[in-house]
Amino acid sequence: MLLKKVYTLVFISKDQQILLGLKKRGFGVNKWNGFGGKLEPNETIVEAASRELKEECCIRVKTTDLKNIGHLEFTFEGDKTMMEVRVFGSKLFEGIPRETEEMLPKWFPCNNIPFDDMWPDDRIWFPYMLKGQLFYGRFHYKDLDTILNYHIEELKSM
């Protein structure tokens, strides 16, 4: 039996650019990623997504502006936990991204994503997100650098 843990992951975009953050500590340290984390008790998934974005890079997005664009599942060899990651996107936001203790935010052109310094799975599902396609992906990792096997598909609805 797998123990499921739910996470959020938010990508803000504007003018053919996407906002990524360099993770400064914890899981995924030194990797560029979207903004997100675990749900707190009594919080909906979109509330968690909006809160994490504010906490990690100081920008605000209304929960109603967050679109669920993808669903990812991660498992690791020898670990009974499955990370279920709900991916959200928005072009609407308020504020200027600022560095926090957790993340260093930076805008990247959509045709110049720093995949070499990201989770290996990102190379596989980012193309769906960048084309505006909804997606489901599951990835089984051998260790933090190596994907043993995966499945990815476009979804018609979430």
38, 5 Cβ separation under 8 angstroms: yes
Q: Where are the beta strands (DSSP E) in 2-158?
A: 3-14, 17-23, 32-33, 67-76, 81-90, 103-109, 134-143, 146-155
Could you tell me the smallest distance in angstroms from the CB atom of residue 64 to ligand 6OG? 21
CA distances, 50 to each of 6, 8, 30, 102, 148 (Å) = 15, 9, 23, 16, 32
Measured CA to CA, the distance from residue 29 to residue 39 in angstroms comes to: 20
**Residues near 79 by Cβ (< 8 Å), separated by ≥ 6?**
none
Measured CA to CA, the distance from residue 156 to residue 149 in angstroms comes to: 23
If you compute the radius of gyration of the chain from its CA atoms, what whole number of angstroms results? 15
Q: CB nearer to ligand 6OG: give 65 or 73.
A: 73
Q: CB nearer to ligand 6OG: give 55 or 65.
A: 55
Q: CB nearer to ligand 6OG: give 31 or 65.
A: 31
Q: Interface with ligand 6OG by CB under 6 A: which residues? A: 7-9, 26-28, 33, 36-38, 74, 83, 85, 119, 121-122
Q: CB nearer to ligand 6OG: give 107 or 120.
A: 120
Q: CB nearer to ligand 6OG: give 119 or 135.
A: 119
Could you tell me the smallest distance in angstroms from the CB atom of residue 102 to ligand 6OG? 7
Q: Name the residue number minimizing CB distance to ligand 6OG.
A: 36
Could you tell me the smallest distance in angstroms from the CB atom of residue 25 to ligand 6OG? 8
Could you tell me the smallest distance in angstroms from the CB atom of residue 26 to ligand 6OG? 5
Could you tell me the smallest distance in angstroms from the CB atom of residue 142 to ligand 6OG? 12
